[in-house]
């Protein structure tokens, strides 16, 4: 077999070839001093995309264990919720507790009784609010760091705390929240925050 050189091949072509077909590196190396072999190295390595690896029967145990762990985490995510789930989606909320105030990400779960933000990896409830403690809900468009308008849901509690949330389907979240709270229109409690 004679090696061929393709001058027009790019790095992208090489990566595509490696991931699609894969490469196997097999090397035997012996380190010797004065003709006396001291160290022998036998190296075998396969480099390919996961799809190719699995197709050739490699790393099947690892793949099966990862998939089962992911399914287990999905089951654990909702084990503490006994009531019907009205809305569930990846979301973030602005955590204003502690020294570092920042957005925290997780699974947002809305039931008929409470709103929960849950971190599935750490199995930790990061935020929980009973729906009867909500005074008002409002969607406010804010200018973010990239100078884009971004919608956020502001929730005013009866303790006059403002909780902020971001989610992909923010309009659906707001509608489900308002429908289950019988809050049909904005009462104006958050107007000052909107104009700030």
Tens of pLDDT, residues 81-136: 677 888 889 999 898 887 878 888 988 888 888 888 888 777 788 889 988 888 88
Instruction: Write out pLDDT tens, residues 164-196.
Output: 998 888 888 888 877 776 554 555 555 444 444
pLDDT at 79 over 60: no
Alpha-helical regions (H) of the chain: 11-21, 50-55, 60-77, 170-181, 191-195
Using the structure block, give the residue that is written with the tokens 């308008």.
149
Domains annotated on the chain, with CATH: 11-58 (no CATH), 82-195 (2.30.29.30)
Cross-strand bridge partners of residue 140: 152
Shortest CA distance to 135 belongs to which of 167, 96, 181? 181
Torsion of the alpha carbons at 47, 49, 53 and 54, rounded to the nearest 10: 170
Q: What share of the chain has pLDDT > 90, as a percent?
A: 2
Is-above-0.75 flag for pTM?
no
């Amino acid at each position: 077999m004679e090696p061929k050189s393709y001058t027009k091949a790019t790095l992208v072509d090489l990566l595509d070839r490696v991931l699609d077909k894969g490469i196997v590196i097999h090397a035997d190396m012996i380190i010797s001093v004065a003709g006396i072999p001291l160290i022998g190295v036998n190296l075998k390595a396969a480099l390919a995309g996961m799809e190719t690896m699995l197709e050739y029967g490699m790393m099947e145990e690892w793949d099966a264990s990862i998939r089962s762990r992911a399914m287990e985490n999905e089951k654990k995510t909702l084990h503490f919720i006994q009531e019907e789930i009205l809305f569930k989606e990846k979301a973030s909320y602005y955590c204003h507790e502690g020294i570092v105030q920042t957005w925290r990400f997780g699974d947002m779960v809305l039931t008929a009784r409470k709103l929960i933000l849950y971190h599935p990896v750490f199995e930790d409830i990061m935020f929980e609010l009973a729906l009867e403690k909500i005074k008002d809900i409002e969607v406010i468009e804010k200018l973010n760091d990239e100078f884009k308008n971004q919608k956020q849901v502001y929730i005013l509690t009866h303790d006059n705390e403002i909780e902020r949330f971001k989610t992909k389907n923010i309009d659906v979240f707001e509608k489900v929240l308002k429908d289950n709270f019988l809050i049909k229109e904005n009462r104006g409690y958050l107007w000052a925050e909107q104009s700030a």
